[in-house]
Amino acid sequence: MDEVTRWWDGVEEWLTSLSFVPQILVSAAIVVPLAIGLSYLMNLLVDGSFRLFDRRESTDVETGEQ
């Protein structure tokens, strides 16, 4: 665990030693794809839970209506 902490401290020190514009570019290159991936996973989770608990779908199947 100490190695991970030392590595993270090195990354943090390197990032803070950059000027403002490179800090923004590096942060955006990491944060934007991470946010997109997280929102995609949350969308799948919400869609799955809505399908699981959707009452209209179960009543439509029972009555044969669309």
- Residue 47 confidence (pLDDT) above 60: yes
pLDDT digits (tens, 9 = 90+) for 8-19: 999 999 999 999
% residues pLDDT > 90 (the chain): 67
Find tokens 């800090």 and name the residue: 23
- Burial zone of 26 (CB within 10 Å; 0-12 exposed, 13-18 middle, 19+ buried): middle
The pLDDT, as a whole number, for residue 59 is: 55
Give the mean model confidence (pLDDT) for residues 47-55.
87
User: Would you list the DSSP string of 2-58?
Assistant: HHHHHHHHHHHHHHHHS-HHHHHHHHHHHHHHHHHHHHHHHHHHHHHHHHHT-HHHH
pLDDT digits (tens, 9 = 90+) for 21-41: 999 999 899 999 999 999 999
Q: What does the mean pLDDT of the chain come to? A: 87
